[in-house]
Amino acid sequence: MGFPHNFLWGGATAANQYEGGYQEGGRGLSCLDTISAGSVNVPRRITVRDGNGNVRQQSKYDSLIGIEEALVDDHLYYPSHVATDFYHHWKEDIALFAELGLKSFRMSISWSRLFPNGDETEANEEGIRFYLNVFRELGKYGIEPMVTLNHFDVPLSLSNRMNGWADRRMIDYFVRFAYTCFSRFKGLVRYWKTFNEINCMNDFATTGNKNDTLQSRYQALHHIFLASSKAVQIGHAIDPTNQIGMMLAYWSSYAYDCDPKSVLKNYESMHERQFFADVQVRGSYPSYIKKLWKREQIEIETEEGDMRLLKEGTVDFIGFSYYFSQVNKAGMDTRIVDGKQVEPLDNPYLKRSDWGWQIDPDGLRIACNELYDRYQVPVFVVENGLGAIDQIEEDGTIRDPYRIDYLRQHIQALKEAIEIDGVPVQGYYPWGCIDIVSASTGEMRKRYGMIYVDMDDEGNGTLERRKKQSFDWYRNVIATNGEQL
């Protein structure tokens, strides 16, 4: 009963939102380094040089066609540059994770820290040393690293020179990067994921592709799928004990009413998520996507051996993020963009977070079941949490009962997925176990952590770390293996 004895109680982060040190240790720029902050209502902006040589900022939703390059303007503030500075605080932070009792810690590797321009033949040794230090320090405390090779983090040079993942040469560059990680960190890391939220990799920020046609997006995705499959094969060959997974942004979705048209719409909306796992777990392109390509006159350029590679390079597990659920109604455009529905439709049974995300713990249990029923591989919840504004009280404490409530209800739902439904969930990683920059808005005030970091939305702050009330609560959850929530 309850959680298995070897359950991985974790915490999750990503280099582009946490690491900082953007110009230190020989690191090159990544696409995200060119994107400044926004807010819940104002989209983040990219700094670009256009065909006439003018430097300006534009919304990340505007077309980048005709843009010569994306760049960094030294007068502007970019949240990824310092982020919450894991680069200089790793020892202190890992000690705090150990005190919290984490069994596992999820982080990502900055591609441009190991390969500053993305296509060098030798890795940057200073970058390798940084991650070796981190993994050894985690090992010292018995904390198992869960490493995402690529969390929305493409070297800028590859975007400016060859349009990122739209170019097939990216496969070889990524495979060299993956090979370097598997071989240099062998024995220190056993759990890997190839690409974060692969179903969200559809814009410049996440792929380096400045061409936003559907044709180009699916072509880039084909390259990403192949790169992932090759990385899985290489990772298994280097160390057969490696567990290498995919990572999906998941949300449960419901038909708003029993109008069969709404039910059908909901069913179709599930394909938008399943497509990615169908390729990465089952190993081939599903029929509904081939039909969609036909309708949209999309022709994917492939080479001989591509389909075999997809079949042979399937993943060992599914990691997924889960924050909210969604409802679909016939006749309404209910797509999800940056965590928000295009036409927000309230589910009358649920409340929304301050950032409009519909809170739904039972949806997590449903998600676990949907994924395991269809794919029959172990699942890991590698992101879950509540983005909220925290206040420091006069006595210096930070009380975050709202975050505790959210986590408690979701862990309870997870327990039911394991205990009642028999889903082999192997780990749970609250997102941003320490405060980090928000991906969608670039804000600091949208905090997820159990450890507060003194930093504001303009990049001012001492970076001092401070435990929140949720720190003690989660420590007890881990210590009792989820018995005391």
**Separation between Cα atoms, residue 479 and residue 376, nearest integer Å:** 29
- Which segments of 354-400 does DSSP mark as H helices, in order? 361-375
Contact 203, 144 (CB under 8 A): no
Contact 439, 355 (CB under 8 A): no
CB of 368 to ligand BGP, least distance (A): 18
Based on CB atoms, which residue is closest to ligand BGP, 115 or 324?
Answer: 324
Number of Cβ within a 10 Å radius of residue 393: 8
Q: Which of 132, 150, 152, 146 is nearest to 316 (CA)?
A: 146
Sites of contact with ligand BGP (CB under 6 A):
14, 17, 196-197, 249, 321, 339, 383, 387, 431, 438-440, 446
**What's the start-to-end Cα distance of the chain, in Å?**
15
Based on CB atoms, which residue is closest to ligand BGP, 93 or 153?
Answer: 153
Q: Residues 144, 197, 370, 443: which is the catalytic one?
A: 197
CB of 13 to ligand BGP, least distance (A): 9
CB of 356 to ligand BGP, least distance (A): 11
Find tokens 């036909």 and name the residue: 294
Catalytic residue status for 383: yes
CB of 348 to ligand BGP, least distance (A): 24
Based on CB atoms, which residue is closest to ligand BGP, 84 or 262?
Answer: 84
Based on CB atoms, which residue is closest to ligand BGP, 368 or 436?
Answer: 436
**Separation between Cα atoms, residue 113 and residue 440, nearest integer Å:** 23
CB of 207 to ligand BGP, least distance (A): 14
Chain centroid to Cα 30, Å, comes to 16
Residues 106, 427, 93: CA angle, nearest 5 degrees: 35
CB of 204 to ligand BGP, least distance (A): 16
Based on CB atoms, which residue is closest to ligand BGP, 171 or 439?
Answer: 439
Q: Residue 227 carries which side chain, given as an amino acid letter?
A: A
Q: Residues 19, 144, 370, 383: which is the catalytic one?
A: 383
Based on CB atoms, which residue is closest to ligand BGP, 44 or 365?
Answer: 44
Based on CB atoms, which residue is closest to ligand BGP, 34 or 438?
Answer: 438
Contact 410, 364 (CB under 8 A): yes
Beta strands 8-12 and 425-428 are parallel
The DSSP letter of residue 398 is: -
Q: Which of 392, 128, 381 is nearest to 249 (CA)?
A: 381
Report helix, strand or coil for 327: strand
Catalytic residue status for 304: no
Report helix, strand or coil for 26: coil
Based on CB atoms, which residue is closest to ligand BGP, 163 or 321?
Answer: 321
**Separation between Cα atoms, residue 213 and residue 54, nearest integer Å:** 24
Contact 428, 381 (CB under 8 A): yes
**Separation between Cα atoms, residue 177 and residue 122, nearest integer Å:** 9
Number of Cβ within a 10 Å radius of residue 259: 13
Based on CB atoms, which residue is closest to ligand BGP, 40 or 330?
Answer: 40
Dihedral sign for Cα atoms in the order 161, 162, 165, 166: positive
| CA distances in angstroms from 348 to 325, 343, 358, listed in the order given | 12, 15, 10
Contact 441, 38 (CB under 8 A): yes
Per-residue DSSP letters for 368-395? HHHHHHHH-S-EEEEE----B-----TT
Q: Is 200 left (phi over 0), alpha (psi -120 to 50) or beta?
A: alpha
The DSSP letter of residue 166 is: G
Active site amino acids:
197, 383
